[in-house]
Amino acid sequence: MINSLGINKPKKNTKVVVAMSGGVDSSVVAGLMKQEGYDVTGITLKLYDDAKPSKNGRQCCAGQDILDAKRVSEQLNINHEILYYQKKFKQEVIDNFIESYSSGETPIPCVQCNQTVKFRDLFKYSKNLNADALVTGHYIKRIQNNGKSYMYRAKDFSRDQSYFLFSTTQEQLDFLRFPLGDIEKTETREIAKKLNLNVAEKPDSQDICFVPNGDYSSVIKKFKPESFNPGKIIDIKGKVIGQHNGIINYTIGQRRGIKIADKDPLYVIKINNKDNTIIVGPKEALKINKIILRELNILGSKNEFKNEIKIKVRSTGKLLRAKINLNSHKAEVNILDGESGISPGQACVFYLSDETGDKVLGGGWIDKTYNKNLST
């Protein structure tokens, strides 16, 4: 008999690992799995040591979250383990964030965290436990058709996390389950209340776990102080028009902090870490029509890229029309309507709309951007 997770086993004989962050979403997933009668083990990752908590108390994988996950596990009477992955997290997420940010890119550590310690390493650990599935509290749909698993945007578009999971491999997707993909966030909290979970009203995590209170510069200053060296501000014609106080203080599309008077507002168009310069220009210079991607992860077939598809270039952004030219490790993305403020280091995720919804075809990391005035 096929159970609710699509596995041909009785629920009581189906071993599931639930990735428990200590938040309401993963706690509800653990509660639902237990309620359905599965053999549940909750696993929490300790990724970062920080004696400086966030002011709003909404960090992911912090000390309080681990305690909350443990309490929920005790309440549900399920096994609970803590994996100490601080070293892996430092090497693969924090170090990458520092290098990327200090080179003028806009990195997304949450994607890299999912790509490495959360899905790759936790996937491997779960397999070693002989688990039948790894279940998470991500808002994303997983649909199985003719024996193959597909990823779709969540029902609740405001919570959809497909952008952060574009690097999920087919092997991982086959093993993963996302029970919250078909419900709204408000429903999740209602379920938490019905299960009497003490995290039912816990705020969602917002800060990057190793960047308390969003203070990126303090993290960079600690590990790479040379990023604060002053340098030249140049206009799009190559003329030096001012000085900046460190490229780390600027991101693509930024207007505030340039402190240069001009007839029209100036925006950061390009950040060049090699010569420590910032290029500024008018708003129209931000409009990007073409991007080059590196480190692709393709979930769909190449035939699905022959025609126009949709892309996302930021987690909260809208879907954009695009034509994609794929090769072995890179992709050229032609954005049909153009989009402003796209930065190297961000992700570009591919979608194809069908009768089921918006299917995720994978994506890649933005390496270069092009507009009429210059490329970055």
Q: What is the pLDDT of residues 201-236, one digit of tens each?
A: 888 876 677 776 667 777 787 777 777 889 999 998
Residues 270 and 290 in one domain: no
CATH number for the domain that contains residue 292: 2.40.30.10
Shared domain for 93 and 175, answered yes or no, is yes
- CATH number of the domain residue 158 falls in: 3.40.50.620
Is 320:334 a contact under the CB 8 Å cutoff? Answer: no
Q: What is the largest CA-CA distance in the chain?
A: 71
* pLDDT value of residue 375: 53
Domain presence at residue 1 = no
Question: Catalytic site residue 60?
Answer: no
Three-class secondary structure of residue 311 per DSSP: strand
Q: Domain of 243: which CATH number?
A: 2.30.30.280
Confidence of residue 59 (pLDDT cuts 50, 70, 90): low
Residues 195 and 102 in one domain: yes
Answer yes or no: do 343 and 318 share one domain. Answer: yes
How many Cβ atoms from other residues are within 10 Å of residue 198's Cβ?
A: 13
Q: Which of 61, 110, 209, 348 is catalytic?
A: 209
- Residue 2 forms part of a structural domain: no
Domain carrying residue 327: 286-370
For residues 42 and 26, give the distance between their C-alpha atoms in angstroms, rounded to a whole number. 9
Tokens of 26: 């993963």
Identify the burial level of 338 via C-beta atoms within 10 angstroms of its C-beta, where 0-12 means exposed, 13-18 middle and 19 or more buried: middle
Tell whether 264 and 311 lie within a shared domain: no
Q: Are residues 323 and 366 in the same domain?
A: yes
In this structure, are 61 and 74 located in the same domain? yes
Residues 276 and 290 in one domain: no
What values do phi and psi take at 114, rounded to 5? -60, -40
Mean pLDDT calculated for residue range 68-86 = 94
How many Cβ atoms from other residues are within 10 Å of residue 373's Cβ?
Answer: 16
Question: Is the residue at 334 inside a domain?
Answer: yes
pLDDT at 54 over 70: no
Domain membership flag for residue 140: yes
d(CA 319, CA 284): 20
Backbone angles phi, psi at 296, to 5 degrees: -75, 150
The yes-or-no verdict on residue 323 having pLDDT over 90 is yes
Q: What are the pLDDT digits (tens) for 252-310?
A: 988 887 888 888 889 999 998 888 999 999 988 899 999 999 999 999 888 999 999 99
pLDDT of residue 61: 59
Of the residues 60, 61, 113, 348, only one is catalytic, namely 113
| Torsion sign over Cα 183, 184, 186, 188 | positive
Nearest 5°: the CA angle 180, 193, 64 is 80
Indicate the number of domains in the chain: 3
Residue 266 lies in a domain: yes
Length of the chain (residues): 376
Q: Is residue 5 part of a domain?
A: no
In a domain, 222, yes or no: no
User: Please, what is the Cα angle at 109 between 174 and 171, to 5 degrees?
Assistant: 15
Mean of the per-residue pLDDT values of the chain: 89
Same domain for 53 and 128, yes or no, is yes
Q: Looking up tokens 């690097």, which residue turns up?
A: 167
Other beta carbons within 10 Å of 336: 12
Is pLDDT of 114 > 70?
A: yes
Asked if 348 and 364 touch (Cβ cutoff 8 Å), the reply is: yes
**Is there a single domain that holds both residue 20 and residue 68?**
yes
Q: Are residues 293 and 269 part of one domain?
A: no
Alpha-carbon gap, residue 14 to 372, rounded angstroms: 56
Which pLDDT score is estimated for 100? Answer: 86
CA-based nearest residue to 39, from 66, 68, 10, 19:
10
For residue 160, is it within any domain?
Answer: yes
Any catalytic annotation for residue 209?
yes
Residue 210 pLDDT? 75
Q: Are residues 240 and 157 in the same domain?
A: no
